Structure 1
């Protein structure tokens, strides 16, 4: 894929963009094969395409109050405009000029990183899958002070007219000068959560994404990843399932829906000890609130708890453990403590979804009681070396 930003050396984020896409997929699969030689069967790698795939962008606000840039910071710490980036979803690309015009109309100064002054830091935009041909957006502004919050709040009607597809609008306050993308405080100006409609044809499932909740950046690949893991669960039909690091409940809810489709709900005698068939654990209370809402809306038998995944597992009573466990940790992996607990837990089946095959390989080395049945590569991040990989593990007899 050609990119004039890359060719002009203005943005080098897509480090592999000059490599043919088929070669990228082949190399990622081979990398996983070499790093994880214990996987006996690799399912075909999945891709949603090499362009227009990003459902979320985090744009640095640069330039001046009268001529903002929305993109990244260059080596000189000045803004580089990337509104024509080819990997962002078209619905996002369509509204960036309108958002830039709106910001210019406010008169707020972009944040000057070297000088440590200014107001506007970032704009985060997320697009939800179409429902009845209509897309909806979440638009978040990250600013430095209460003054900027007040200016944007006062101009809300103008912003809504400029971006009518925005279902959620918020302002995040980040007063400190530090290398993070958002602060702790979020002020809602419109709506509360973005409905991400996924699920299956027989049972559509909507995940409610709140401003500070995590969701995969590639909707097509996320759909297939959830579909693959839930297909494994439906085939195995465990009597109980835990989803650790569950986020807004993607794996837990899709597994519950898939197992329900295979008469999962018709076997009440096989419920776990506390009466809950599917349990999700996530540290973020906002994400757990979203997952609970999604479960209620879908009528699914799932429970969600706000807790640290490792602490929750280690404090669980032996008789309450599930037959199947799904883990989807950050890049660092689950770590030796949780991996050691899984090794001695007696849990029959584990699905490990990882965005870092190296930490996955380290964690699997701590769990020799499990044999890998199959794995699959998901190209969540085309034109980079990053990927998602999921493996199905079963305890040795």
Structure 2
């Protein structure tokens, strides 16, 4: 009988195939199990992520909704927040849908509300706008209208900016995992226009087949960095841009040629060169490889020529509804002048120009100004003028040259209007302002300044531009009332 007290740990030995020599075999490490928490979800934050209390901290659980009890795995614990991954729902909330269209919801994390019934999404977005206004003491009863639904709420994205990655020999095209450079392959994404998914599939196959290198953020080498696709739903045509780490006129023209052959709906292929090491997607140089120089889309009552570097809304149908709403609220006549600030490629301004006497568009990006001027010619609108420069400076200068300025429209980026612009706007005091916003918090902050200057908020219309996400566009009409504004 062997005395267990005399047993010693013996190294694991294995034979090499080339002889009888024995070598030590390294023990395999067992993966460390992360702790899990049982959480009761109380609210959604502004990003649509479920929140729960845990030991005086806020636990964040994407994909979980208020009223649910869930099991979540801890990924990182900070001083005030615990970041987790949803593992199991023990008790479903009434707003959870039984037919989630996405199989990669908890990997991709791009659509935090995709498991929620659509009407509940609309209600949540209306509440987001109401809360932002209430935080600035601007909310009145029935001031905020019900959120304008997107039709459709799936397969609505006409634009995609995706990153290339590689796992072993497999090419990935998708999004970065939050807080990392790990690429999550989005596959057949349910919110993309079907033509985008078709293009992604073919590009992935051809990059693998042609053995084209993919950029590594770790090693700072490789060719392909991003894939940009823009679709015209009206015409069922697409423009594709390959963002590369360096200029390449051998592999990418061949890739573009094969893509146009396999997907004839692709009518334009470009290469953009971005050798920077940051997270900016586009570089300074764009080269047309095949087909047309841009994509023409019909948006509402106007045609828009959209270049490979131009910014335009991802939901074309909802963009058209916003433009129509702004035009309806404006009620311009040929006696009226208007200024469109942050005009981009002219979407709002060109719709207003159909009714107005004169329209001036102001935009900081010179290429967008050139696109807007081209779009005015495309639509045979001769009462438009677009200028590049600082918004506040140009607003003051252009307003001084216009007769009967009745309306100023604002469509700023997420951070809202610059303080100098709002000061210039209040000094001019046009009778009407229409503000199109993509962030309720910056919108409410700017509205407080305008109300303090004598404007009254007439109506507020949330618009669901990005179904399945927490983002909401808001259109606000204000009229100058002087001291009686509040």
CA distance in 2, matches of 1:386, 1:35: 13
Where does structure 1 differ by over 6 angstroms across 4 or more consecutive aligned residues? none
- Check if 1:42 corresponds to 2:127: no
Retained in 1: the 8 A contact 2:173–2:183? yes
Alpha-carbon contact 1:172-1:185 (below 8 Å) kept: yes
Output one character per residue of 1:159-200: Cα deviation in whole Å (capped at 9) or x when no partner. 321221112211111112111111111111231111110223
**1:254-300 CA distances to partner (integer Å, 9 max, x unpaired)?**
1122x2xxxx5xxxxxx5xxxxx111111222222222222112222
Pairing 1:1-397 to 2, within 5 Å after superposition: 1-6=100-105, 9-36=106-133, 37-38=138-139, 41-48=143-150, 49-63=152-166, 67-74=170-177, 77-131=181-235, 135-146=236-247, 148-190=248-290, 191-200=292-301, 205-234=302-331, 239-257=336-354, 259=355, 271=357, 277-300=358-381, 301-316=383-398, 318=400, 320=402, 322-367=405-450, 368=452, 369-396=454-481
Whole-Å separation in 1 of the counterparts to 2:389 and 2:462: 29
SS in 2 for 1:206: strand
How many Å separate the matches in 1 of 2:380 and 2:221?
Answer: 49
Q: How many residues align?
A: 371
Structure 2 counterpart of 1:267: none
SS in 2 for 1:323: strand
Answer with 311-320 or 323-332: which moved more.
Answer: 311-320
Q: CA deviation at 1:310?
A: 2.2
Would the alpha carbon gap of residues 85 and 343 (structure 1) be closer, same or farther in structure 2, given more than 3 Å must change? Answer: same
Secondary structure in 2 matching 1:366: helix
In 2, Cα distance between equivalents of 1:289 and 1:233: 25
* Local SS of the residue matching 1:4: coil
Name the structure 1 match of 2:7.
Answer: none
Distance in 1 between residues matched to 2:480 and 2:273, nearest whole Å: 47
1:61: Cα distance to partner? 0.8
Range that drifts further, 161-170 or 311-320? 311-320
Larger radius of gyration: 2
Q: How far has the Cα of 1:230 moved from its partner?
A: 1.0
Check whether the contact 1:106–1:152 (CA below 8 A) recurs between aligned residues: no
Local SS of the residue matching 1:213: coil
Q: Which runs of 5+ in 1 are unaligned?
A: 265-270, 272-276
Q: 3-state SS of the aligned residue for 1:42? A: coil
The range that moved more, 222-231 or 310-319, is 310-319
Q: How large is the Cα RMSD of the aligned pairs? A: 2.1
Could you give the per-residue CA deviations for residues 69-98 of structure 1, whole angstroms, max 9, x where no partner exists? 111234663332212111111121122211
- Partners of 2:362 and 2:395 within 8 A in 1: no
Q: Give the SS at the match of 2:283.
A: coil
Partner Cα distance (1:105, 1:310) in 2:
52
- State the distance in 1 between where 2:306 and 2:388 align: 16
Superposition deviation, residue 38 in structure 1: 4.2
1:274 corresponds to which residue?
none
TM-score calculated relative to the size of structure 2: 0.72
Structure 2: distance between partners of 1:141 and 1:107 = 16
Aligned equivalents of 2:407, 2:443: Cα separation in 1: 18
Deviation at 1:237, TM superposition (A): 6.9
The superposition leaves residues 219-269 of structure 1 with CA deviations (integer Å, 9 ceiling, x where unpaired) of 111111111001112367761011111111000001122x2xxxx5xxxxx
What CA distance in whole angstroms lies between the structure 1 residues aligned with 2:113 and 2:157?
16
Q: Any idea what SS the aligned residue of 2:107 has? A: coil
Structure with the bigger percentage of helix: 1
More relative contact order, 1 or 2 (CA 8 Å, 6+ apart) = 1
Moved more, 343-352 or 228-237: 228-237
